[in-house]
């Protein structure tokens, strides 16, 4: 018979795949000598067996949900999935093992399950192989009934505590196991509190608790049937409920959003643990503590403690808890024990720890530990600090920080120059300042987001079922809860700005509004939240970009020591170059000159060049334009002094710089309506129409302009060369290269070099008396360029893959049309696994890149090879390029830090 059940002495703490994260942590803590309540683990294998009879059918519904279908199709799939799951039973042989291990618990605790005199009570908790905070179900106080509640009261000498535990159990069991609407219990409880004149749960007299138990049992009876009094039946149903929660909508949605595939985790374990009670009295309570501050990374214990409470109360945000420093004042000896334990776990697990604990009558128990979810700032700081302390190696520290952490660390903050007064303040749960329209229900957040609106989800407190709204919203605001509440934990995990526990904010979810000191904010009104400070503002408040913190700077230097490919930046103007250098770029891999033309006086000259009828007329306008461009080139080369700068010659279709024909025609009609005959506008319109192309992206652009109008390339190169020469004369060290775009044949390169590029360089050398070292290369954006790379490579000094246009060419997609019209549907239907313009298409475009690299190296072993498309800033693409053999990637300036780290990860993890 398959062994499904293990106690903490039998299980392997390193096998999270089988025992789940929670179970493995209980085993580890017990083996380290920490005080852990006795219990046992039902393995993930039992869960897999639970689903096995209908696995194929379940898989079909999951595929539908993975495609992010419209709401009606989503709801239908969820309903059918629920019907299938509800029919499943425990696998053969499991129940007998559960009974055996409960008997073991009875022997170790001296209590008996279901005994009315000395009852054994247990918790039944989920435990996936990877952390999924709040996504699956937990049942506490299991084993209570009308008889054992009296035994518990006698056992503890505390009738109030016994009935508080019982009313909690009926409510939790009714909601989670029996599927009764939680709002029925909450409304009844609030009415009882009103009737007894109490505000907080702990003030309810024992008579009120007895009433609550009876009222809750009536609610169960009206909506399900008689509340089960048999503890064994309770246990069986609870185990099934935890298994079923793996397929709950919130758990499925979370796995899809977080990319948790079946290869990572395909089921949950179940942990059955002897209850310890934090609600016995004021010498008891429950808490969550982190081994370091998960907001700032400071090396202090950070967390919260709630007296007279049970574990779910803290994360649910039902009451605002006490800080861990207050816990230290109340229980100094317990704080010392807690500190030693969490620091031991931190060193053992080589990461900041998130530890759940309960104090029962002055005795500390440990219920779970896991790697903490942190803000990006804390993630970076703790990784660097732990490396300095010798807990981690530098390489391990680099791997602890994900590229997304770096990107999130560059989130905006409120512009300090703006005079904006906050209307409320809460806890800064997850960083970043963001503006959005207030919505009060997660379904509305999803719907509004799909309509293209930026929304902030506003709730009293969030629940696991709200998770789809988190992903749709740009930020989250709650009026209740602490830094370890559900809202805070999930927001930090997915990188959404969040402010929680803003108690001045009175949320009316039914009315879809909130009020603060007489100010009313209704659904659709704009608000701004600052997850860095906890401030809440009316309206849209301007933001600014942050600086790189010292710890990130140090971590990225460690990353630079291990990565094997270079990281450069794409730039358009001098400000981009300055930002790129500040963020650690090793040069400019793509300097686009098109934005330099956008100033009015330059655009007028460029239009005159395009519309000119002769070479001489074009040259007449090119000379002053070249002088203007030289100033920009010189400024950028100076900023990047000593580092390589690759300037791409003009690339876009020329029509992009001309007025639109329809706009000219409208202007002509307007003038004629006023009695004016605009002969000049008519002539311009006729020329613009004559230059129009059926498919401009495949037309007169890139090198084709240099071939047909070599004088354009001549003067552009001359402007570049003069800027280089002037800097050389000033004692600077410019390292400039020129890149020819849209090449499909080596003869194009040879022609423009001979007709324009080489003559321009030679003329500047002669006129300015400076020997120039300017390399000439080509951008690889066409399929034919790749296929003929063995001819192309020997003719140039370097090549750089322009993966944006190469992707368009391989797919025959027009990017703008594709991303606006059908790629979202392709992603929903699973036709494409990722947007090929965001992440490199390894099977198609990637195969061409590998072929191009191989052919180039065979023809010219020392040729420099780069990537300058937007894929150069995508972590998954960088991982591929590192294995493909390119020398560097080039990304937008803000993604340079991310690219540096991603390149290091690629080197450390291997391909």
Q: What DSSP state is assigned to residue 797?
A: S
**Catalytic annotation on 369?**
no
- Measured in whole angstroms, the distance separating CA 117 from the mean position of its chain's CA atoms is 51
Q: What is the DSSP string of 824-859?
A: HHHHHTTSSSS-TTTS--IIIIIHHHHHHHHHHHHH
* CA pair distance 359, 327, nearest whole angstrom: 11
Angle at which helices 661-673 and 679-691 cross, to 10°: 160
* CA pair distance 779, 777, nearest whole angstrom: 7
Q: What is the DSSP string of 725-793?
A: HHHHHTT---EEEEEE-S--SHHHHHHHIIIIIHHHHHHHHHHHT-----EEEEEE-SHHHHHTHHHHG
Report the alpha-carbon angle 873-877-879, nearest 5. 105
Give the other-Cβ count within 10 Å of 622's Cβ: 25
Three-state secondary structure call for residue 550: helix
Catalytic residue among 405, 486, 535, 879: 486
Q: What is the DSSP string of 197-223?
A: T-SSGGG--HHHHHHHHHHHHHHHHHH
Note whether 720 and 633 are within 8 A (CB): yes
Q: What DSSP state is assigned to residue 112?
A: B
Give the other-Cβ count within 10 Å of 827's Cβ: 15
Q: Where are the beta strands (DSSP E) in 312-450?
A: 322-323, 353-360, 363-371, 413-414, 424-425, 427-430, 433-439
Three-state secondary structure call for residue 531: coil
Q: What share of the chain is helix, strand, coil (3-state, %, to 5)?
A: 50, 15, 30
* Residue partners of 225: CB distance under 8 A and separation at least 6: none
Query: For the chain, how long is the longest CA-to-CA vector?
Result: 107
Residue from 255, 254, 258, 66 nearest 832 by CA: 66
The residues that bridge with 323 in the sheet, in sequence order, are 304
Catalytic residue among 868, 871, 879, 905: 868
Report the alpha-carbon angle 465-5-102, nearest 5. 90
Cα distances (Å, whole numbers) of residue 49 to 15, 44, 55, 66: 18, 9, 9, 23
Give the other-Cβ count within 10 Å of 872's Cβ: 32
The secondary element (H helix, E strand) that includes residue 885 is none
Note whether 23 and 271 are within 8 A (CB): yes
Note whether 177 and 237 are within 8 A (CB): yes
20: alpha, beta or left? (left if phi > 0; alpha if psi -120 to 50)? left
**Catalytic annotation on 868?**
yes
The residues that bridge with 646 in the sheet, in sequence order, are 737
Three-state secondary structure call for residue 439: strand
* CA pair distance 897, 305, nearest whole angstrom: 38
225: alpha, beta or left? (left if phi > 0; alpha if psi -120 to 50)? left
Strand pairing class (322-323; 302-307) = antiparallel
* CA pair distance 593, 740, nearest whole angstrom: 12
The catalytic residues are 486, 868
């Amino acid at each position: 018979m398959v062994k499904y059940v293990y106690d903490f002495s039998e299980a392997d703490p390193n096998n999270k795949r089988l025992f789940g994260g929670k179970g493995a942590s209980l085993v580890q803590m017990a083996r380290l000598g920490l005080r852990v309540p006795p219990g046992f683990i039902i393995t993930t294998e039992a869960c897999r067996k639970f689903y096995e009879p209908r696995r194929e059918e379940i898989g079909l519904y999951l595929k539908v949900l993975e495609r992010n279908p419209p709401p009606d199709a989503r709801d239908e799939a969820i309903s059918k999935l629920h019907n299938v799951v509800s029919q499943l039973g425990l696998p053969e042989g499991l129940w007998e093992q559960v009974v055996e291990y409960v008997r073991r618990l009875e022997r170790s605790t001296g209590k008996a399950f279901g005994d009315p005199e000395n009852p054994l009570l247990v918790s039944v908790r989920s435990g996936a192989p990877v952390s999924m905070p709040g996504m699956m179900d937990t049942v506490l106080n299991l084993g209570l009934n009308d008889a054992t509640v009296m035994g518990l009261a006698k056992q503890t000498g505390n009738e109030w505590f016994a009935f508080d535990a019982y009313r909690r159990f009926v409510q939790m069991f009714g909601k989670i196991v029996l599927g009764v609407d939680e709002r029925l219990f909450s409304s009844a409880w609030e009415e009882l509190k009103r009737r007894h004149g109490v505000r907080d749960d702990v003030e309810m007299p024992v008579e009120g608790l007895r009433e609550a138990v009876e009222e809750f049992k009536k609610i169960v009876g009206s909506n399900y049937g008689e509340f089960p009094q048999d503890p064994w039946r309770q246990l069986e149903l609870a185990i099934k409920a935890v298994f079923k929660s793996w397929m709950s909508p919130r758990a499925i949605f979370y796995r899809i959003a977080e990319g948790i595939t079946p290869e990572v985790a395909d089921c949950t374990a179940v942990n059955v643990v002897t209850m310890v009670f934090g609600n016995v009295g004021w010498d008891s309570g429950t808490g969550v503590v982190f081994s370091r501050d998960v907001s700032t990374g400071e090396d202090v214990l950070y967390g919260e403690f709630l007296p007279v409470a049970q574990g779910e109360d803290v994360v649910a945000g039902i009451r605002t808890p006490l800080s861990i420093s207050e816990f230290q004042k109340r229980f100094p000896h317990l704080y010392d024990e807690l500190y030693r334990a969490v620091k031991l776990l931190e060193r053992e697990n080589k990461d900041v720890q998130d530890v759940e604990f309960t104090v029962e009558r002055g005795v500390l128990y440990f219920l779970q530990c896991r790697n903490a979810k942190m803000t990006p700032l804390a993630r970076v700081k703790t990784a660097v600090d732990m490396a300095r302390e010798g807990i981690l190696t530098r390489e391990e520290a680099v791997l602890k920080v994900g590229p997304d952490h770096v990107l999130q660390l560059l989130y905006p903050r409120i512009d300090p120059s703006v005079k904006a007064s906050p209307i409320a303040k809460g806890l800064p749960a997850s960083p970043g300042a963001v503006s959005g329209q207030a919505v009060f229900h997660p379904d509305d957040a999803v719907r509004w987001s799909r309509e293209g609106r930026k929304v902030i989800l506003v709730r009293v407190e969030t629940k696991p079922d709200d998770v789809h709204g988190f992903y749709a919203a740009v930020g989250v605001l709650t009026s209740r809860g602490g830094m370890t509440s559900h809202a805070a934990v999930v927001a930090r995990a997915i990188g959404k700005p969040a402010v929680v526990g803003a108690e001045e904010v009175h949320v009316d979810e039914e009315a879809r509004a909130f009020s603060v000191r007489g100010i009313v904010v209704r659904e659709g009104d704009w608000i701004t939240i600052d997850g860095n400070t906890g401030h809440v503002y009316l309206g849209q408040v301007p933001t600014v970009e942050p600086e790189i913190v010292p710890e990130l700077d140090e971590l990225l230097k460690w990353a630079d020591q291990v990565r094997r490919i270079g990281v450069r930046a794409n730039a358009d103007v001098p400000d981009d170059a300055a930002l790129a250098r500040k963020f650690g770029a090793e040069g400019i891999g793509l300097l686009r000159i098109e934005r330099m033309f956008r100033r009015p006086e330059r655009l007028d000259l460029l239009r005159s060049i395009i519309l000119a009828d002769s070479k001489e007329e074009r040259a007449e306008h090119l000379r002053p334009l070249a002088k203007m461009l030289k100033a920009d080139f010189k400024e950028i080369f100076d900023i990047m002094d000593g580092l390589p700068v690759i300037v791409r010659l003009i690339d876009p279709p020329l029509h992009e710089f001309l007025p639109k024909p329809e706009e000219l025609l409208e202007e002509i009609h307007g003038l004629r309506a006023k009695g004016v005959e605009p002969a000049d506008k008519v002539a311009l319109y006729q020329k613009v129409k004559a230059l129009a192309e059926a498919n401009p992206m495949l037309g007169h652009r890139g090198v084709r302009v240099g071939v047909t109008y070599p004088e354009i390339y001549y003067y552009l190169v001359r402007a570049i060369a003069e800027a280089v020469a002037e800097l050389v004369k000033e004692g600077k060290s410019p390292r400039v290269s020129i890149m020819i775009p849209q090449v499909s044949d080596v003869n194009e390169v040879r022609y423009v070099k001979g007709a324009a590029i080489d003559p321009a360089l030679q003329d500047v050398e002669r006129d300015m008396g400076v020997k120039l070292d300017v390399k000439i290369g080509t951008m690889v954006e066409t399929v034919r360029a790749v296929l003929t790379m063995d001819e192309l490579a020997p003719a140039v000094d370097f090549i750089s893959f322009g993966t944006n246009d190469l992707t368009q060419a391989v797919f025959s997609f027009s990017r703008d049309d594709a991303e606006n019209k059908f790629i979202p549907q392709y992603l929903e239907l699973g036709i494409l696994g990722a947007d090929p313009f965001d992440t490199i298409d390894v099977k198609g475009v990637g195969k061409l890149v590998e072929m191009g690299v191989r052919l180039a190296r065979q023809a010219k072993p020392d040729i420099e090879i780069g990537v300058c498309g937007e894929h150069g800033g995508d972590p998954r693409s960088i991982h591929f390029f590192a294995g493909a053999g390119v020398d560097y990637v080039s990304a937008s300036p803000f993604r340079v830090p991310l690219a540096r780290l991603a390149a290091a990860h690629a080197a450390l993890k291997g391909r």
